Structure 1
Amino acid sequence: MTKDIIHERIEARRTELVALTRSIWENPELGLEETESAELLADRLAADGFSVERGVGGMETAFVASYGEGDPTIGILGEYDALPGLSQTVSTTREPVEEGGPGHGCGHNLFGVGSLGAAIAVKDAIEADELDGTIRYYGCPAEETLVGKVYMARAGVFDDLDAALTWHPSHVSAPWKGRSLAMNSIEYQFDGQSAHAADSPESGRSSLDAIELMNMGAEFMREHVSDAARIHYTITDGGGAPNVVPAEASVWYFVRAPSRKEVERITAWLDDVAEGATLMTQTSFERRFLTGCYDYMASDTLSDVLLANMRELGSIDYSDADREFAAGLKQTLSDETVESRLSDLPEGRREAAAGRALYSEPMESFDEGTVMSGSTDVADVSWITPVAQFWGASWPVGTPSHSWQAVAANGDFGAKSAIYAAKVLGGTAYDLFDDPSLLEAAAAELEERRPHQYVSPLPESAEPPTDVDVN
């Protein structure tokens, strides 16, 4: 058997896989509400002989599908949640399918299906006695809220993996080697005493005052945290009528930093600020920990295998019609947006991509040694087992994620990137099954880089939040 058979098996399923991407795109579901999307993928894997465990990590839309037995055990991660307010038709003008409705602005309709195609192709190889071991597909909900994999990790579903592979739609194709920011997501709920704000304000104790004082304290903290740290907040409940002292109010905070240790230090300080605000206002507060994640650590060993497979496949097979539609979408982006998106690329690649509507040639990692300003729950998996992931060119050059232009692309030509991703992931998994020394090197690399074993950032009492829309 050669790796080409993996690619051939995926190609034979192209029509079915493209249809799956469209089905999920046409029915966008928010995090922890992806009932139909999760069922569609889980049922497809079950029909192909996978044993499927549903509802893992306390989440109805999380599942693990396994095939095979014994070592090695390779996991492939899939996602399928959408974003609020990004409903969009396949069009070069802003035209929602449903005003204010959700849409797949991050390409998770492609993501979950591409990973599924890879897992099934590897399963076929195991079933035919061409490979030995276990392949797993992880149905990971609520990535946009940084919930799914964190709660799955706490449940231990990744603990026996020898490696995990994944990908993500983007505007270029390259392995992702950069670090990400660790993060905590916490809601602070303050309680005071209501009163008539004009007739008897002395009888009231304002929870909104407490929040405003807490936010002011957070502003003064900024000078004393690292430049890479981030503190964001929004008042989610500030009271009702102006003439009623608000007895209840809440504020939602994100704390991000390059390491869990720094996130935890800043969070502890923020808790002190909240306590101080209650002392100043004679109120009280409760702290609701929504989620938290680690910083991502890419496996160089596995990332290099991914890149070799990307180069072996070459560019994604976009047609002239695809490029024409992509060019129309690109024209709706500002020059500043495109330039900003291209600024991270090496100069030669930047110049080559700038004049193109689609740039799908695989390139070397352009983010190695950097720390991205966002967070990902793939990071938690990367602290448990070696992980590699790559960006796949699914959108016009310069397109930002979480944009209506990305939604339009994900419902059209972006489906071809899912087929490409399936071949890259399937081919990489084949290499890992075929050459155990790669897994040994990746395990040694993780052991050397990881300062301590993974400990879940979630308090024991934390439950998957079903009322949070976006990260």
Structure 2
Amino acid sequence: MQNTDPIWDHVDRHRDDFITLSDRVFDTPETLYAEHKSVAEHKRMLQSQGFTLTENAAGIPTAVVGEAGEGGPVIAILGEYDALPYLSQEPGKAQHQPLEEGGNGHGCGHNLLGAAALLAATALKDWMAENGIKGRVRYYGCPAEEGGAAKTYMVREGLFDDVDAAISWHPATFTGVNEARSLANTRIDFTFHGKAAHAAGAPELGRSALDAVELMNIGVNYLREHMPDAARVHYAYLDAGGVAPNVVQAKATVRQLIRASSLPDLQDLVTRVRNIADGAALMTGTRVTSQVFSGVSNLLGNRPLEETMQRELEKLGPVVFDAADDAFAREIQATLTQADIDTTFKRIGAKPVKGLALCDFIAPLDRHSEGGEGSTDVGDVSWAVPTVQARVATCAIGTPFHTWQTVAQGKAPAAHKGMIYAAKAMAATACRLIEDPSLITAARDTHHDHLEQTPYSCPIPDDVRPPV
């Protein structure tokens, strides 16, 4: 990839420092709202690059915002740095080899995501300063994407109110503009309160909270037949009532994760799940209370921004990998199933290419994807401000995310190449928006049309605070 855009030079000037940042965050994997070492690394980098910091953003200790520039449009670049539990893995090894049994690991590549986003913001800052261009770049260091919905809280607190456009990316097995398809979701903890009793001596005096949880789960199971096809409900026991079977459980808590393709569908499904909880309480003579833990909205697309980013990806061409990258990717693929590998191609509506270990093409903007969808708190940003994201190849085709295989590739040279590429794509997209105000106007008009049809309603109630 030969540099033909001045912004790429600004990215390359800082590449080594930001690869080091990514690797340092990889080495201290921290989960939702506990990313203290990771955010400290990002703060140090922001300060060294001359950004003005806002710490404790939205009242979240592990969130930070860095700003540079003056006047002009405000371009937000979104970064993340949270890891996942139970995914500890030795980097560079193509076999399951935890560094720490039960430890955390960057199973979604957020060490790369945050470093590339901050690198793009730094390059954009330098480009504006060098050319005397008015505009502000704002880096959002966002924790807790994996289940904590930090960006939703940040949107609710007004942190994006003056932003003209938001740009982000995500590590992937292919390169292309991210399709704006995701599921709105909410996590609600249902706690049933019963009455303890001796399970053999006087069971008639007890009212089992655990029975209520089990009946609720049965009710939700029967609901699944009558939900929209894209909807999902998952659950986890947070408190099963203890470990003594000879005691009727007086208290038990289950977390229900409810997903739907749109905010209105989600709100309808939540009502039905709450009715099931009430029914389970009635059947067992218990009382139920609930607490929303988090919530995110579905992604809103923005065609003008997506077309702009697609042009920048095509200008860059695919990520250039070398023979060593290919060899390690093949070692990783040897641990996967053919279904894993085929899924990468299905997600971009392409036929599988036999023997291809690393993505060597740019996915078309208009494609027919197959497969299920997850959720992201970038969705709420996309309701607040016109938003676009890239997917950039950083790992072997077929790599399933949230697995040890993703962690194994998190410090590999291929991952670093994809990270630098992503920074160039984001920074170049931002440059085009600043250079051509009509693009921002078109993006804003498209966004306004969406909200005219379906107004935004934050999926987290006003009285719920971040769980920090």
The yes-or-no answer on 1:324 pairing with 2:327 is: yes
In structure 2, runs of 5+ residues without a counterpart are none
Matched-pair identity in %? 40
Match of 2:182, SS?
coil
Structure-to-structure mapping, 1:73-222, within 5 angstroms: 73-89=74-90, 90-222=92-224
Relative to structure 1, is the Cα distance of residues 42 and 454 closer, same or farther in structure 2, using a 3 angstrom cutoff? farther
Distance 2:371 2:266 in 1: 15
Instruction: Tell me the equivalent position of 1:436.
Output: 437
Distance 2:347 2:294 in 1: 29
Match of 1:42, SS?
helix
- Structure 2: which amino acid aligns with 1:91? K
Distance 2:85 2:327 in 1: 28
Match of 1:383, SS?
helix
Distance 1:437 1:355 in 2: 43
Query: CA offset at residue 358 of structure 1?
Result: 0.9
Instruction: Tell me the equivalent position of 1:52.
Output: 53
Instruction: Tell me the equivalent position of 2:70.
Output: 69
Query: CA offset at residue 460 of structure 1?
Result: 1.8
Instruction: Tell me the equivalent position of 2:402.
Output: 402
Distance 2:291 2:352 in 1: 47
Check the 8 A contact 1:146/1:376 in 2, yes or no: no
Relative to structure 1, is the Cα distance of residues 337 and 372 closer, same or farther in structure 2, using a 3 angstrom cutoff? closer
Distance 2:423 2:246 in 1: 59
1:276-320 superposed Cα distances (whole Å, 9 cap, x missing partner):
221222211210101111110121111111111111111223221
- Structure 1: which amino acid aligns with 2:226? H
Distance 1:149 1:207 in 2: 34
- Structure 1: which amino acid aligns with 2:46? L
- Structure 1: which amino acid aligns with 2:355? G
Pick aligned residue for 2:265 from 262, 267, 270 = 262
Query: CA offset at residue 363 of structure 1?
Result: 2.0
Match of 2:326, SS?
helix
Distance 2:131 2:349 in 1: 43
Check the 8 A contact 1:92/1:329 in 2, yes or no: yes
Pick aligned residue for 2:250 from 244, 247, 251 = 247
The yes-or-no answer on 1:40 pairing with 2:49 is: no
If the length of structure 2 is used for normalisation, what is the TM-score? Answer: 0.95
Query: CA offset at residue 412 of structure 1?
Result: 1.1
Query: CA offset at residue 331 of structure 1?
Result: 1.0
- Structure 1: which amino acid aligns with 2:436? D
Instruction: Tell me the equivalent position of 1:359.
Output: 359
Check the 8 A contact 2:220/2:276 in 1, yes or no: yes
Instruction: Tell me the equivalent position of 1:275.
Output: 278
- Structure 2: which amino acid aligns with 1:237? D
Check the 8 A contact 1:182/1:292 in 2, yes or no: yes
Distance 1:360 1:162 in 2: 33
1:194-249 superposed Cα distances (whole Å, 9 cap, x missing partner):
11100111221110111112112212222322122111112222122110000110
Check the 8 A contact 2:78/2:142 in 1, yes or no: yes
Distance 1:420 1:341 in 2: 20
Distance 1:321 1:340 in 2: 24
1:393-435 superposed Cα distances (whole Å, 9 cap, x missing partner):
0010111111111111112120111110111011110000000
Distance 1:287 1:48 in 2: 45
The yes-or-no answer on 1:25 pairing with 2:32 is: no
Instruction: Tell me the equivalent position of 2:448.
Output: 447
Match of 1:343, SS?
helix
Query: CA offset at residue 454 of structure 1?
Result: 2.5
Check the 8 A contact 1:178/1:370 in 2, yes or no: no
